[in-house]
Amino acid sequence: MRRVRRAAGQGLGMMVAAISWSWIQQEIQRPLVLFGFAGQFIFFLRFAVQWFASERRGRSHIPIAFWYLSLVGGAMSFLYALLKPDLVFMTAQGLGLLIYVRNLMLIYRRRARVEDRRRRRTLFANGESLEEATPVPDAET
């Protein structure tokens, strides 16, 4: 058992030693790595946007920009993981993308319902009916 632990410890030490400054400099010159960092930076920006929006309101708030930054950063990170290839990272980002799209769908569905209610109230307040306000399309001949 001690041999296994010792070997595992040496393996980790060798991996850490392999991460040198010259390796880092070499990696950041690769376009795919730069693309991956750009995706992670966009993904990070969502936290800054959410923090700023919450501070402005004085309470926790998630603005729609948070979901768009999540979607763009997540898509870039997914593409990076796909090109790398890294199944674990790809799976995590892919599942996240589904959640971001679903949240945007829920936001826009609610906005449409609110706008419809607002429109109906305005029509009612003006004494109009939905039929009067809704134009009937002409039949094509």
Q: What is the pLDDT of residues 5-27, one digit of tens each?
A: 554 556 676 667 667 888 888 88
Q: What is the mean pLDDT of residues 63-90?
A: 95
- The torsion angle over the Cα atoms of residues 67, 68, 72 and 78, rounded to 10 degrees, is 30
Write the CA distances from 46 to 23, 65, 103, 135, integer angstroms: 30, 7, 14, 41
pLDDT at 1: 46
**pLDDT tens digits, 85-112:** 999 999 999 999 999 999 999 999 999 9
Residue 2 has pLDDT above 50, yes or no: no
Tell me what percent of the residues of the chain surpass a pLDDT of 90. Answer: 60
**Model confidence band, residue 127 (pLDDT cutoffs 50, 70, 90):** confident
Q: Helices 64-83 and 87-125 sit at what angle, rounded to 10 degrees?
A: 150
pLDDT at 125: 76
Torsion angles phi and psi, residue 84, rounded to 5: -65, -50
Helical (H) or strand (E) element with 120: helix 87-125
pLDDT at 54: 97
